[in-house]
Structure 1
Amino acid sequence: MLMSMTGFGRGESSDKIHNFNVEIKSLNHRYNDIIIKMPKHINYMEENIKRLIKKNIKRGRIEVYIDLEYVDDNNIDVKVDIPLALAYKEALERMANTLNINEKITINHIVRMPEIVKTERKKDDENEIWLCLKEALEEALDNLIDMRSKEGNQLAYDIKEKALNIKNMVREIEERAPLVVVEYKEKLEDRVEELLNNEYELDESRLANEVVFFADKSSVDEEIVRLYSHIDQLTECLNSNESVGRKLDFLVQEMNREINTIGSKSSDIAISRLVVEVKSEIEKIREQIQNVE
């Protein structure tokens, strides 16, 4: 099944302490590039997250947004730096005496000072928080993969249609190619007879050699065989369950190379027109596979 590289998925999970909301967005990219944005105090989960994503997604830029809320405030520790508070109190009293200010130093003055009161999260149970996060992450991945799969099916259908069009046009080139040699021979005979004006006998052997040389020079049999092979391989890739984006890209490059060779070898107008149409279809496929995993 062909997979697109673009998609979006959302997941949510909760336990007695944690409430996770996860959003995953995937975009086109040559490699598997994962960007994670989450609360700093759970950064140690990054490798677990990447490992799970890479298991399911082989290619694309993956942006992960993780939001964590705590269900209640029992997980918060409040710490007061008493030595620092005493130092602030003494400093404020010295300043008041020096400036002849008769205002009494109160708790309100001290708690406003930096670093006096700190709130910290109690240490999370790493296994517990991972199990909760994993549930939300897997739900988001399932939704993302479902969207990528649906878009992939549409891409596969479109590419197959274009590949069939190319195959039909290559078949027309294959049928037309032998006729080009016959027409060349007839034109050559007519031209030679016109120039000789029936005063000299036509040298059939030299004429045959010229036709053979032209036929060999303009032969596109090998290119056509390889084109058929590339088209068949491309179609097989579209039905694969593996990540085939890079292979498709290579096949399209090879198809383009073969049709360019055919175009350079042929001086026939009909074949030249078909070459242009084939190149146009190949370019459309190339644009489509930029979005394939």
Structure 2
Amino acid sequence: MLISMTGFGKATLELENKKVSIEIKSLNSKQLDINTRIPNLYKEKDLVLRNEIKNQLERGKVELSVFIESVGTDKETKINKPIVEAYYQQLSELSSELGIPMDKEPILQTIVKLPDALKTEHQELDEEEWNQIFAGFKSAVADLNSFRKQEGEALQVDIFERIANIEKLLKEVPQYEAKRIETVKTRINDNLKDFVEKQNVDKNRFEQEIIYYLEKLDITEEKVRLENHCKYFIETANNGKSIGKKLGFIAQEIGREINTLGSKANDSDIQKIVIQMKDELEKIKEQLLNVL
């Protein structure tokens, strides 16, 4: 069963004093590429999240975002009383020395803007809260995997249909083969007839050379290999996991046989079939870029 690399998952948690939204999405990529956007409070768990993504998703360009809506925040700002008191004492002394009246309210507003008047205290990560968030994260990943499977089923239907089209086109080739061989043989005979007669060439030997040449143009082997590659492609897709790259290699082999078939054909009708095969194969390759 094919699995797509494209997917999206989401989970929302209502905790004691905050609402946490977790979103994770993935796109196709040759390797696993992870980008996380999480609040500072949970930064220490970044590696844990990445390892879980690696185990569950295997490959793709993955973006994880964690958003928090809360009454408080992961950091709390407080007035640094000793510093504020020291500032106020110095300003009071300066006011007396200079004989300038000091308005208390504007002075306090000014003091809190001075360096170190405010201090920020970071909250510690609560393990019980983290466990709930991690469970929500795994739920979002499960949703993403479910999405990937649905997308994979759609990809499989399309790809299998195109493989079937290639097999169907391959079955149309034999009807043109007898005419093709006869056309090539006639062309050779016509082109070399005068030369053979004038040069007194051994006609039996000449006939053997023509047969040898026609054997070089035989496409039976290519047809058999192409048919086998198509069957192997379907078997691999039905019985494997994380097989996007392997299917890509098989598609290359299918393409190689189609190209050889075209180069040997020397027949316009078979060439038309080959072009249709190539068109189907290119669409298969495009779809395989998104298969896990």
Shorter chain as denominator, the TM-score bin is: 0.7 to 0.9
SS at 1:5's partner residue? coil
1:11-26 mapped onto 2 (5 Å cutoff): 11-26=11-26
Matched positions, count: 290
- Determine if the alignment matches structure 1 residue 125 to structure 2 residue 126: yes
1:223-262 mapped onto 2 (5 Å cutoff): 223-262=222-261
Amino acid in structure 2 at the alignment position of 1:35: N
Q: Percent identity, please.
A: 32
- Determine if the alignment matches structure 1 residue 214 to structure 2 residue 217: no
The answer to whether the Cα contact below 8 Å between 2:41 and 2:125 also exists between their aligned partners in 1 is: no
The answer to whether the Cα contact below 8 Å between 2:173 and 2:273 also exists between their aligned partners in 1 is: yes
Amino acid in structure 2 at the alignment position of 1:57: L
- Residue 200 to residue 111, structure 1, CA distance change in 2 (3 Å): closer
Supply the distance in 1 between the matched residues of 2:192 and 2:123 (Cα, whole angstroms): 99
1:57-136 mapped onto 2 (5 Å cutoff): 57-70=57-70, 73=72, 79-93=78-92, 96=95, 100-105=99-104, 107-126=108-127, 128-136=128-136
Supply the distance in 2 between the matched residues of 1:57 and 1:170 (Cα, whole angstroms): 37
In structure 2, what is the equivalent of residue 27 of structure 1?
27
In structure 2, what is the equivalent of residue 145 of structure 1?
145
The answer to whether the Cα contact below 8 Å between 2:41 and 2:124 also exists between their aligned partners in 1 is: no
Supply the distance in 2 between the matched residues of 1:58 and 1:178 (Cα, whole angstroms): 50
Supply the distance in 2 between the matched residues of 1:3 and 1:100 (Cα, whole angstroms): 80
- Residue 160 to residue 81, structure 1, CA distance change in 2 (3 Å): same
Amino acid in structure 2 at the alignment position of 1:184: V
- Residue 266 to residue 97, structure 1, CA distance change in 2 (3 Å): farther
1:180 Cα offset (Å): 2.5
Deviation string 1:140-180 (CA, Å, 9 cap, x unpaired) is: 12222222211211110011010011112223335544553
In structure 2, what is the equivalent of residue 47 of structure 1?
47
In structure 2, what is the equivalent of residue 286 of structure 1?
285
In structure 2, what is the equivalent of residue 160 of structure 1?
160
Amino acid in structure 2 at the alignment position of 1:277: Q
1:62 Cα offset (Å): 0.9
SS at 1:61's partner residue? strand
Deviation string 1:231-282 (CA, Å, 9 cap, x unpaired) is: 1222123324511111122222222222112222221111111111111111
SS at 2:66's partner residue? strand
Deviation string 1:198-233 (CA, Å, 9 cap, x unpaired) is: 999995413422322222321223332332232122
Supply the distance in 1 between the matched residues of 2:180 and 2:201 (Cα, whole angstroms): 22
The answer to whether the Cα contact below 8 Å between 1:11 and 1:22 also exists between their aligned partners in 2 is: yes
SS at 1:101's partner residue? coil
The answer to whether the Cα contact below 8 Å between 2:40 and 2:74 also exists between their aligned partners in 1 is: no
1:190 Cα offset (Å): 6.1
- Residue 257 to residue 96, structure 1, CA distance change in 2 (3 Å): farther
- Residue 108 to residue 36, structure 1, CA distance change in 2 (3 Å): same
- Residue 12 to residue 215, structure 1, CA distance change in 2 (3 Å): same
The answer to whether the Cα contact below 8 Å between 1:230 and 1:251 also exists between their aligned partners in 2 is: yes
The answer to whether the Cα contact below 8 Å between 1:174 and 1:224 also exists between their aligned partners in 2 is: no
Supply the distance in 2 between the matched residues of 1:110 and 1:242 (Cα, whole angstroms): 65
Amino acid in structure 1 at the alignment position of 2:244: G
Structure 1 runs not aligned, ≥5 long: none
1:283 Cα offset (Å): 0.6
- Residue 177 to residue 280, structure 1, CA distance change in 2 (3 Å): same
1:94 Cα offset (Å): 5.5
1:64 Cα offset (Å): 0.9
Supply the distance in 2 between the matched residues of 1:287 and 1:234 (Cα, whole angstroms): 15
The answer to whether the Cα contact below 8 Å between 2:21 and 2:66 also exists between their aligned partners in 1 is: yes
Deviation string 1:12-53 (CA, Å, 9 cap, x unpaired) is: 223435532101121121111111101112111111111222
Supply the distance in 2 between the matched residues of 1:164 and 1:65 (Cα, whole angstroms): 41
TM-score by structure 1 length? 0.85
161-170 vs 204-213, which deviates more? 204-213
The answer to whether the Cα contact below 8 Å between 2:41 and 2:123 also exists between their aligned partners in 1 is: no
- Determine if the alignment matches structure 1 residue 3 to structure 2 residue 3: yes
